[in-house]
Amino acid sequence: MDNLNSFEVLHKDKHTSARLGKLKTYHGDITTPVFMPVGTQASVKTLSPQDLKDNDVEIILGNTYHLYLRPGHGIIKELGGLHRFIGWDRPILTDSGGFQVFSHSDLRKINEDGVEFRSYIDGSKHFMTPELSIEIQESLGADIIMIFDEPVPYPSTYEYTLKSTELTTKWAGRCKERHNKEGQLLFGIVQGGIYEDLRQNSVKNIVGIGFDGYAIGGLSVGEEKEQMYQMTGYTAPLLPSDKPRYLMGVGTPDDIIKCVSMGVDMFDCVMPTRNARNGCLFTSNGKVNIRNARFAKDENPLDPNCNCYTCKNFSLAYLRHLFVSDEILSLRLNTIHNIHYYMSLMREIRSAITEDRLSELMNKPLTLPSPLRGED
């Protein structure tokens, strides 16, 4: 596999639809399935790029909407692009800004040309089009960029979902026509809400335009968990088998394993970082609420099976003290651990696929030993 920006399925699990793959990008190879920590404003909150590398993070996600508003894509381009701006030399994916624009329903107006919205920072008026979204993402210089779409809110009527999905298809074509940055992958996004026929039509139309990868959008936005699984399980096998499949905004460790078994390759979610800042930590023995008073004198590490920096050096008592004292160090140590947990989870998932035992992993409690690469 010598071509830049190519994707290869290296192994298929014998008992599920899970795939082990490798995606080549300008800033390096990505092993899939992969989880992408979210760095909304060009920063994975509380962590440095070195923290991310120390925990085997291969790719991070940035947000077009936020970086457009502040500091501005022109400034970032002038300073050498997003990688140089943030001191990160591994792959970056930028989302198109669609979700953020549409999540502020009281601040925006939609028409076929694009979306008029007001900045959440200073109230200034802006007009985002598919072409502008691509222009911003090209200026940022991300390795993978997304089309500008209209994420369908939940709940939505069939009629609204149909109209919205058709608009996403039109915008996808405009994004493809506008995109011309060499060495940059452009992913299409499938919409359709919770309606199978609309999902099927969206796949047909988006794949017909032709993209370097395909995302399943509009899920994990308030629908029941089983609805999310149903739509993912229905949509993923409709997508080209030789292209990466990205489930946007998902999820919990259990969600990731379940959706990997359906053939999904890429995930992002704020859960590990946001939960860390709220004192909720993932361990091999389940979730831990670090503010719990029972940890006040506990000399044990957070997770005896984990060798992240936090677990190797600090006690539960100290972590609790930092958190209840509102110390900034608490946020960093908690986030290091949660990111390490998620990277260990993905490594275990990839190992399970290679050994054709993902179904076993799905049916037992997660107990991850969490070795860093090179320490196995």
Which residues have a catalytic role annotated?
A: 95, 268
**For the CA atoms of 372, 2, 206, 203, what is the dihedral angle to 10 degrees?**
-60
| CA gap 343, 332 in Å, rounded | 16
| CA gap 44, 367 in Å, rounded | 26
Q: Contact 58/176 with Cβ under 8 angstroms?
A: no
Residue 125 dihedral angles phi and psi, to the nearest 5°: -90, 140
CA atoms within 13 A on the CB side of 270: 12
| CA gap 202, 270 in Å, rounded | 26
Which residue, among 342, 194, 356, 341, has the nearest Cα to 261 in the 3D structure? 356
Helix H or strand E segment including 308 = none
| CA gap 277, 175 in Å, rounded | 36
Q: Contact 192/161 with Cβ under 8 angstroms?
A: yes
Expressed in percent and rounded to 5, the helix, strand and coil fractions of the chain are: 40, 20, 40
Residue 115 dihedral angles phi and psi, to the nearest 5°: -130, 125
What is the DSSP pairing of strand 245-247 with strand 213-216?
parallel
| Cis amide leading into 71 (omega within 30) | yes
Q: Contact 62/88 with Cβ under 8 angstroms?
A: no
Q: Contact 267/208 with Cβ under 8 angstroms?
A: no
Rg, Å, the chain Cα set? 20
Q: How many helices (H) and strands (E) does the chain have?
A: 15, 16
Residue 302: other Cβ atoms inside 10 A: 26
